[in-house]
C-alpha cells in the first residue's frame, strides 16, 4: 500500500508510504483519492491528518512518469477532491515537502511542519512549472511577492521561514500529535485556499522576479512561464488559472529543457560506486592533505566540513603560514555568507593541524596530495607518505594532468594509489573525478566513492589519460577557440557565442579568471609528445610571454581596470592579427552559429574518443563532468545529452564537412561513426561495444 488510512477516534490518519521519499506517482495519487472517498463515507470524522512515512512528507510528482502520457487520476484533480472533502484535511509535514508535496499541503485546510522541514516548489529546476495548483494557491496564502520568489527560483524555505510568511500555521515537534489536538470547530471554520480572492497586485515583485530569472536562469523557459502563471492569480478566477497552469505543465514536461534537467537530476543520483567494485571502502577518520595552496586548502576545508580531521603538510614554516591563511580566508568567506557558525568553526579549527612534519599526520587513513604539478615533487611526496602512514591508508593524488601510473610505479604498493581530482574551489565545486590507474585497488576506488558521498560530491570514474575526462575535453574546446581566433574571430565574439549558448562565461573570460600560465605550463609539458602534424596556434603562448596572465595581472584577453570588471582590449586584436600575419592565415568572418557549432563539435568529438577508449564509463558520466566541473549549461543536459539532441548523423555530417578543412583536427571519432552506423545515440553507446 503506497497510501494507508485508518481511523483514530474522530480523526482519519492518512499516511503516504512510497519509499524512499514519497514521490507522488500513480499509485500514490490513486491511494489519496481512495482516502478522500473513504473520508467522505466514514461517519463522524472531524479531521483527516495526512503525513509521510520515512524521511519525507512528499518529494512531489514522480519525475520518472514525465516522459509518458499523463495517467488519471491527475494530481490537480486529487488535490481538488481533498480540498472539497467535507472533512477538513490537515497536512502534518516533516523532512521535505516539495513540488506536489507542497501543493498537497496547500490543498489542506491547516498546515503543520516539524522543525527543519523544507517546503518548496522546485519544479522550474526540472524545467516545468507547478502543475497542481501551486501557482494559484500559494499567492492566495502568502501574497504575490513571496509566492513569485519561491516559484520562480524553485528554492525551498525552512519550517521557521514558512511559519513567518504564513505558509504553515504551526511548527511542531510532532506534527501529527499537534494536528490531533486542534480544535474541531476552528478547523471546520477554515476556508479552502481556492475560495479566497486572488492576492493584491504587485507589479514590482513580478518585475523583480523577471529580472532575477533573466540573469540567473538565462535561456530557460520554465521560470518565465511560472512567473506568468503566478501573475495570473491576481486577475484570473481560480478555475481558469488552474487550467492554464495544467496546460503549461503538460506542454513543458516533454520539452528538450525539461528532459535535459531530468536527465541530470537522475544521472547525479545514479553517480555511485560501480557495482563491479568488490571491496569495502576504508573508514576515514583523519586525513593528510599535502600542499596548502588554494587547492589543498579547499580540499582540507571540504574534508573538515565532513567531520574528517585533517593535517595539512607544507614544506616550510612560510608555507605553513600561507596554508593557514588560505584556510582562514575560506572560513571567513563561508562565515560571511552565513554558512559557518561559531560552533562549527571552532570544531573545524580544533580538527585542523598544519605542519611541516609528515609524522604529525601519521595516523591518517587517507592522504590527498595537492602539491605542485611536477612529477619529481609528486614522487618525493608519495615516498614520504608511504614512509609515514600505516599500510591501510589510501593514497590519492589531485593531479590534473600527470600520469597516475608513473606516480604509482614509484610506490612500494602501487595499488594504494587513486586519483582524486577536485575542482577549484574544492569545497564548493561538486565534481570529483576518481581516477583509476592500472594498479589501483578496488578498496582505494571504493574509498574514493565513499569520500565523494561524505563530501556530497558527484563522483565520476575516469581512466588514465592526459587531462582525464574533463581537462581533456577542455583542451579541445580551447584549441578550437584559438583556431577560430587565428582564422578571424575575436575573443569577445567567441565568448559571446558561448554565453548565448548558456555558459556563464566564454572560454577567454574563464581563462582570465584561472590564469593563462596554468595552461601554458601544461602546453610546455606536452610539447614533446605533441603531434607535429597537428596545427598549433601560438597566440596563447604569446599572451603569456607578454605578461598577460589574466585577471591576476590586471590584463589577459580582457583588461580589468582597477581590478574591476572586464573590458575588451583592442591590443589583443592587434596581437592576434600579427600572429595570423606571421602564420600567413587569410582571416575571415565567423558567425555566432559557426563559433558555437565548432566549439561543440570539437568537444563532442573528443568526448566520443574518451568513450570509445573506455576512459569514461558512459555518456551520462561525461554529462556530469561537463555540467558539474566545467559550467556546461545544466538545462542542456551536459555535453553528450546535448549531442544526442543534435543527433549523431548531423554531427557526423558536420565533422565530415570540416574534415576537408583540417583532416587531423576534425577526423570523426570511431565512436561517432559506430553510433551513426548502428543508429544509436551516445546514451546507448558503451566502450568496446
The nearer residue to ligand COA, 126 or 599, going by C-beta atoms, is: 126
Q: Which residues contact 650 (CB under 8 A, 6 or more apart)?
A: none
Backbone φ and ψ of 568, nearest 5°: -65, 145
Question: 459, 272 in Cβ contact below 8 A?
Answer: yes
Smallest separation (angstroms) from ligand COA to the CB of 250: 12
Piece of the chain touching ligand COA by CB under 6 A; list 121-129, 140-148, 436-444, 632-640? 121-129
98 binds ligand COA (CB under 6 A): yes
Q: With beta carbons less than 8 A apart as the criterion, state whether 209 and 148 touch.
A: yes
Question: Does 122 participate in binding ligand COA (rule CB under 6 A)?
Answer: yes
Spatial contact of 433 and 468, defined as CB atoms under 8 Å apart: yes
Q: What's the CA gap between 662 and 429, in Å, rounded?
A: 36
Which is closer to ligand COA, CB of 114 or CB of 665?
114
For the purposes of burial, counting CB atoms within 10 Å of the CB of 150, is it exposed (0-12), middle (13-18) or buried (19 or more)?
buried
**At closest approach, how far in Å is the CB of 628 from ligand COA?**
15
**Residue corresponding to grid cell 570509445:** 612
* Of 80, 123, 482, 569, the one binding ligand COA by CB under 6 A: 123
Which residue, 59 or 555, has its beta carbon nearer to ligand COA?
A: 59
SS3 for 60-84, per residue?
CECHHHCCCCCCCCCHHHHHHHHHH
Q: Per CB under 6 A, does 104 bind ligand COA?
A: no
Active-site residue, 596 included: no
| Cα radius of gyration (the chain) | 28
How many other CB atoms sit within 10 Å of the CB of residue 372? Answer: 11
Helix, strand, coil tally for the chain in percent (to 5): 55, 10, 35
CB of 245 to ligand COA, least distance (A): 13
Binding pattern to ligand COA, positions 245-284, x when CB under 6 A? ---------------------x--x---------------
Helices of type H across 337-395: 342-350, 375-388
Q: Pick the piece of the chain touching ligand COA (CB under 6 A) from 93-101, 220-228, 291-299, 567-575.
A: 93-101
CA–CA separation, 22 and 15 (whole Å): 10
Cβ at position 268, least distance to ligand COA in Å:
8
Burial track 99-108 (b if 16+ CB lie within 10 A, e otherwise): bbbbbbbbbb
User: Is 103 annotated as catalytic?
Assistant: yes
Give kind and range of the element (H or E) at residue 629.
helix 619-630
Element (H, E) at 7: strand 3-8
Using CB under 6 A, which of 52, 88, 99, 134 touches ligand COA?
A: 99
Site for ligand COA in 50-69 (CB under 6 A): 56, 59-64
Residues 667-686 that bind ligand COA (CB under 6 A): none
How many chain residues touch ligand COA (CB under 6 A)?
A: 19
Task: Determine the interface stretch with ligand COA among 95-103, 323-331, 344-352, 422-430 (rule: CB under 6 A).
Answer: 95-103
| DSSP 3-state of 358 | helix
Write down the least CB distance from residue 432 to ligand COA, Å. Answer: 17
To ligand COA, the closest distance from the beta carbon of 257 in angstroms equals 14
CB nearer to ligand COA: give 64 or 412: 64
Rounded distance between C-alpha atoms, residue 234 and residue 237, angstroms: 8
Nearer Cβ to ligand COA (124/625): 124
Q: Which of residues 586-625 bind ligand COA (CB under 6 A)?
A: none
- For the bound state, the minimum distance from the C-beta of residue 132 to ligand COA, rounded and expressed in Å, comes to 10
Catalytic member of 15, 65, 83, 103: 103
Task: Give residues with Cβ within 8 angstroms of 381, minimum separation 6.
Answer: 290, 369, 371
| Window 10 to 29, contacts with ligand COA (CB under 6 A) | 20-21, 23
What residues contact residue 312 under an 8 Å CB cut-off, 6+ apart? 288, 289, 290, 291, 292, 296, 297, 300, 320, 323, 327, 352, 353, 354, 355
Distance in Å, CB of 258 to ligand COA, minimum: 9
Segment interacting with ligand COA, rule: CB under 6 A, options 36-44, 123-131, 644-652, 661-669: 123-131
* Least distance between ligand COA and beta carbon 209 (Å): 19
Q: Please identify, using beta-carbon distances, which residue of 130 and 491 lies nearer to ligand COA.
A: 130
Task: Return the residues of window 146-165 that contact ligand COA according to CB under 6 A.
Answer: none
Strand partners, 366: 287, 394
Name the residue with the smallest CB distance to ligand COA.
Answer: 99
- CB neighbours of 614 closer than 8 A, spacing ≥ 6? 463, 687, 688
* Dihedral sign (CA 425, 430, 433, 434): positive
Decide whether 125 or 398 has the Cβ nearer to ligand COA: 125
Report the 3 state secondary structure along 9-52: CCEEEEEECCCCCCCECHHHHHHHHHHHHHHHHCCCCCEEEEEE
Minimum distance, C-beta of residue 569 to ligand COA, in the bound complex (Å): 43
15, 123, 245, 579: the active-site residue: 123
User: Of 272 and 535, which CB lies nearer to ligand COA in the complex structure?
Assistant: 272
**Of residues 99 and 437, the one with the C-beta less far from ligand COA:** 99
Nearer to ligand COA, 60 or 88 (CB): 60
Interface of this chain with ligand COA, residues 520 to 549, rule: CB under 6 A:
none
Contacts of 350 (CB under 8 A, 6+ apart): none
Which residues are annotated as catalytic?
A: 103, 123
Binding site for ligand COA (CB under 6 A): 20-21, 23, 56, 59-64, 96, 98-99, 122-123, 126, 128, 266, 269
Amino acid at each position: 500500500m503506497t497510501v494507508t488510512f485508518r481511523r483514530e477516534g474522530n480523526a482519519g490518519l492518512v499516511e503516504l508510504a512510497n519509499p524512499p521519499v514519497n514521490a507522488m506517482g500513480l499509485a500514490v495519487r490513486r491511494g489519496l483519492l481512495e482516502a478522500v472517498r473513504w473520508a467522505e463515507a466514514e461517519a463522524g470524522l472531524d479531521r483527516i491528518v495526512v503525513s509521510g512515512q520515512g524521511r519525507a512528507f512528499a518529494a512531489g510528482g514522480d519525475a520518472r512518469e514525465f516522459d509518458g502520457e499523463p495517467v488519471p487520476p491527475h494530481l490537480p484533480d486529487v488535490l481538488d477532491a481533498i480540498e472539497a472533502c467535507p472533512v477538513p484535511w490537515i497536512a502534518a509535514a516533516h523532512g521535505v515537502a516539495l513540488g506536489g508535496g507542497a501543493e498537497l499541503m496547500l490543498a489542506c485546510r491547516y498546515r503543520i511542519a516539524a522543525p527543519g522541514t523544507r517546503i518548496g516548489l522546485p519544479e522550474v529546476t526540472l524545467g516545468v512549472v507547478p502543475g497542481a495548483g501551486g501557482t494559484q494557491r500559494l499567492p492566495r496564502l502568502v501574497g504575490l511577492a513571496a509566492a513569485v520568489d519561491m516559484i520562480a527560483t524553485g528554492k525551498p524555505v525552512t519550517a521557521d521561514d514558512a511559519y513567518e510568511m504564513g505558509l504553515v500555521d504551526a511548527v511542531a515537534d510532532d506534527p501529527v500529535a499537534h494536528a490531533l489536538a486542534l480544535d474541531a470547530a476552528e478547523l471546520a471554520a477554515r476556508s479552502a485556499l481556492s475560495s479566497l480572492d486572488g492576492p493584491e497586485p504587485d507589479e514590482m515583485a513580478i518585475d523583480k522576479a523577471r529580472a532575477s530569472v533573466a540573469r540567473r536562469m538565462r535561456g530557460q523557459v520554465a521560470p518565465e512561464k511560472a512567473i506568468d502563471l503566478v501573475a495570473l492569480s491576481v486577475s484570473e478566477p481560480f478555475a481558469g488559472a488552474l487550467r492554464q497552469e495544467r496546460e503549461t505543465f503538460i506542454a513543458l514536461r516533454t520539452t528538450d529543457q525539461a528532459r535535459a534537467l531530468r536527465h541530470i537530476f537522475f544521472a547525479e543520483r545514479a553517480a555511485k560506486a560501480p557495482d563491479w567494485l568488490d571491496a569495502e571502502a576504508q573508514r576515514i577518520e583523519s586525513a593528510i592533505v599535502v600542499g596548502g595552496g588554494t587547492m589543498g586548502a579547499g580540499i582540507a576545508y571540504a574534508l573538515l566540513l565532513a567531520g574528517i580531521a585533517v593535517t595539512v603538510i607544507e614544506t616550510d614554516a612560510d608555507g605553513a603560514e600561507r596554508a593557514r591563511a588560505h584556510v582562514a580566508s575560506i572560513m571567513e568567506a563561508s562565515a560571511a555568507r552565513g554558512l559557518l557558525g561559531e560552533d562549527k568553526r571552532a570544531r573545524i579549527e580544533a580538527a585542523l593541524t598544519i605542519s611541516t612534519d609528515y609524522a604529525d599526520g601519521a595516523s591518517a587513513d587517507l592522504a590527498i596530495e595537492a602539491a605542485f604539478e611536477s612529477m619529481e615533487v609528486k614522487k618525493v611526496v608519495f615516498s614520504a607518505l608511504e614512509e609515514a602512514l600505516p599500510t591501510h591508508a589510501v593514497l590519492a593524488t589531485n593531479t590534473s594532468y600527470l600520469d597516475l601510473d608513473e606516480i604509482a610505479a614509484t610506490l612500494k604498493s602501487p595499488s594504494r594509489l587513486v586519483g582524486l581530482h577536485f575542482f577549484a574551489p574544492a569545497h564548493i565545486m561538486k565534481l570529483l573525478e576518481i581516477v583509476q590507474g592500472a594498479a589501483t585497488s578496488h578498496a582505494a576506488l571504493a574509498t574514493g566513492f565513499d569520500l565523494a558521498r561524505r563530501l556530497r560530491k558527484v563522483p565520476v570514474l575516469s581512466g588514465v589519460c592526459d587531462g582525464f575526462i574533463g581537462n581533456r575535453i577542455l583542451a579541445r574546446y580551447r584549441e578550437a577557440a584559438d583556431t577560430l581566433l587565428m582564422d578571424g574571430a575575436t575573443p569577445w565574439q567567441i565568448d559571446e557565442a558561448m554565453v548565448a549558448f548558456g555558459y556563464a562565461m566564454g572560454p577567454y573570460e574563464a581563462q582570465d579568471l584561472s590564469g593563462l600560465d596554468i595552461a601554458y605550463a601544461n602546453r610546455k609539458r606536452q610539447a614533446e609528445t605533441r603531434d607535429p602534424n597537428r596545427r598549433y596556434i601560438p597566440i596563447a603562448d604569446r599572451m603569456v610571454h607578454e605578461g598577460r596572465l589574466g585577471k591576476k595581472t590586471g590584463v589577459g584577453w580582457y583588461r580589468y581596470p582597477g581590478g574591476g570588471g572586464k573590458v575588451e582590449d583592442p591590443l589583443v586584436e592587434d596581437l592576434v592579427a600579427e600572429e595570423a600575419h606571421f602564420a600567413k592565415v587569410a582571416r575571415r568572418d565567423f558567425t555566432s552559429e559557426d563559433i558555437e557549432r565548432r566549439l561543440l563539435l570539437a568537444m563532442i568529438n573528443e568526448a566520443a574518443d574518451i568513450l570509445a577508449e573506455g576512459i569514461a564509463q558512459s555518456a551520462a558520466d561525461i554529462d556530469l563532468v561537463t555540467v558539474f566541473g566545467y559550467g556546461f549549461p545544466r538545462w542542456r543536459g551536459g555535453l553528450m545529452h546535448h549531442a544526442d539532441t543534435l543527433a549523431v548523423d548531423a554531427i557526423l555530417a558536420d565533422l565530415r564537412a570540416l574534415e576537408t578543412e583540417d583532416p587531423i583536427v576534425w577526423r570523426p571519432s570511431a565512436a561517432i561513426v559506430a553510433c551513426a552506423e548502428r543508429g544509436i545515440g551516445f546514451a546507448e553507446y558503451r566502450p568496446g561495444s
